[in-house]
Amino acid sequence: MSFTAGRRHDAEHRPCCLEGIALIRILVIVGVMASAWGGTATATVLYDGALGTAPETQGWLAFGELGGTASRVTAGGATTFSTTSNSTIQAGYSNYAGLTLVNPAFPQLDRVAGYTVTLDMQVLSESHASANRSGVSLLVLSDDLLGIEVAFWEDEVWVQSGPDFLHAEGASFDTTAAMTRYDLTILGGGYSITADGNPLLVGSLRDYSSFGFPYSLSNYLFLGDNTTSASGSFEVEQLAVVPEPSIGLVTTVCALALLRLREQRRKGLAARMGEGKPTLAHEA
């Protein structure tokens, strides 16, 4: 084997070595986190459908609407919500009533320590007049205003880019197929979303605060339809906040990060191999 060929061989396998190093670092981080946390944080259940009462009567959430009347029915262990009668309706549930927390005991959404918002939901329908809007959204803002707005279409879960509110990263997913547990984990400067424990999305937190109210509220949570350019309906069984993410979810975040690294390495390798591909005579 020539020296040149040997170098090419090493270059092709270097990404695998780097992935191995990255994996070791991730496992060390998870181990440190496990030692630091020790136990499991207690979830604050904001809405429990099993109680048979509406979300706004359980002491953590308020309901609000503009531009019309949303449909709300609580029965069978869930609440069914809809703004499909008119796209001008903006409505939903929030942990704020105006500028004041509904319940002063609402947990601190500290992204440095990390937290998870758990949502058991099935989208029934969603329609939008703009590719940058959704009639079903979950907005979560940390105590320093950094957070993420998650949009649910019938066939995709995606996030808002920032205060310009454009369609950013997303993942194809059938949100109408069944009741699904979505875990939105926020830790440090990033977020991850799983659906029934399966990785869905990972990315960086956003600062929407320059838009103004309600994105200027800290420790803020909203579930519903906050746009006049779309409408939607969904059934929700539970909404909860866990002040610290579980080790399992942290591991998922790390695994998603590793997958992203691996994809970047593969693209880089493909580009390098493409640059060195010989040109055929008849292509000249």
Candidates 33, 32, 128, 138; CA nearest to 95 is 138
Per DSSP, what are the bridge partners of residue 262?
none
- Taking the domain 41-245, which CATH number applies? 2.60.120.200
Q: pLDDT of 216-226, one tens digit each?
A: 999 999 999 99
Asked if residues 192 and 116 have their Cβ atoms less than 8 Å apart, the reply is no
**For residues 74 and 214, what is the distance between their CA atoms, to the nearest angstrom?**
26
Residue type, 187: L
Q: Is the pLDDT of residue 76 over 90?
A: yes
Candidates 135, 126, 185, 132; CA nearest to 159 is 132
Please return the burial class of 157, using the count of CB atoms within 10 Å of its CB with bins 0-12, 13-18 and 19+.
buried
Q: pLDDT of 180-215, one tens digit each?
A: 999 999 999 999 999 999 999 999 999 999 999 999
Count the helices and strands in the chain (H runs, E runs): 2, 18
Q: pLDDT of 127-182, one tens digit each?
A: 999 999 999 999 999 999 999 999 999 999 999 999 999 999 999 999 999 999 99
pLDDT of residue 223: 98
Mean pLDDT in residue range 89-109: 97
Q: pLDDT of 257-283, one tens digit each?
A: 555 555 556 655 555 555 443 333 333
Q: pLDDT of 226-260, one tens digit each?
A: 999 999 999 999 999 998 765 545 555 555 555 55
Domain borders along the chain are: 3-35+252-272, 41-245
**For residues 40 and 100, what is the distance between their CA atoms, to the nearest angstrom?**
29
Lowest mean per-residue pLDDT among 29-38, 75-84, 193-202? 29-38
